[in-house]
Amino acid sequence: MAIFFYSIFTLSLIASAIACDRCLHQTKAVLFTNASALSYGACGYGSSATSFYNGHLAAAVPSIFKFGSGCGACFQVRCMDGKMCSKAGTEVIVTDLNNKNTQTELVLSSRALMAMANKGMEQNILKLGAANVEYKRYNFHLPKY
Ligand SMILES: *[C@@H]1O[C@H](CO)[C@@H](O)[C@H](O)[C@H]1NC(C)=O
pLDDT band at 59 (very low <50, low <70, confident <90, very high): very high
Would residue 7 count as lying in a domain? Answer: no
Please indicate whether residue 36, judged by its CB atom, sits closer than 6 Å to ligand 1. yes
pLDDT above 90: percentage of residues in the chain: 61
Instruction: Give the residue numbers spanning the domain of 108.
Output: 22-137
pLDDT above 90: residue 5: no
User: Would you say how long the chain is, in residues?
Assistant: 145
Q: Is 68 helix (H, G, I), strand (E, B) or coil?
A: helix
Ligand 1 center from residue 38 Cα (angstroms): 9
Residue to mutate, 32, 33, 36, ligand 1, most ligand atoms under 8 Å from C-beta: 36
- Over the stretch 76-104, which tens digit does the pLDDT of each residue have? 999 999 999 999 999 999 999 998 877 89
Helix (H) or strand (E) holding 20: none
Would residue 83 count as lying in a domain? Answer: yes
Helices (H), the chain: 2-17, 35-39, 62-65, 110-115, 122-128
Q: CA-based angle 107:136:123, to the nearest 5? A: 45
Would residue 115 count as lying in a domain? Answer: yes
Please indicate whether residue 40, judged by its CB atom, sits closer than 6 Å to ligand 1. yes
Would residue 16 count as lying in a domain? Answer: no
Radius of gyration of the chain, Cα coordinates, nearest whole angstrom: 17
CA distance 4 to 11: 11
Beta bridge partners of 93: 57, 74
Ligand 1 atom nearest residue 34's Cα? 1
CATH number of the domain enclosing 73: 2.40.40.10
What domain count does the chain have? 1
Dihedral of CA atoms 36, 42, 43, 44 in degrees, nearest 10, equals 60
CA distance 42 to 107: 13
Would residue 6 count as lying in a domain? Answer: no
Residue with the bigger pLDDT between 4 and 31: it is: 31
Would residue 4 count as lying in a domain? Answer: no
Average pLDDT over residues 99-125: 94
pLDDT band at 3 (very low <50, low <70, confident <90, very high): low
Please give the backbone phi and psi of residue 38, each rounded to the nearest 5 degrees, phi first.
-65, -40
pLDDT of residue 87: 94
Average pLDDT, the chain: 84
Average pLDDT over residues 117-144: 84
Would residue 45 count as lying in a domain? Answer: yes
Average pLDDT over residues 61-79: 92
pLDDT above 50: residue 144: no
Would residue 130 count as lying in a domain? Answer: yes
Is the CB of residue 94 less than 8 Å from the CB of residue 43? yes
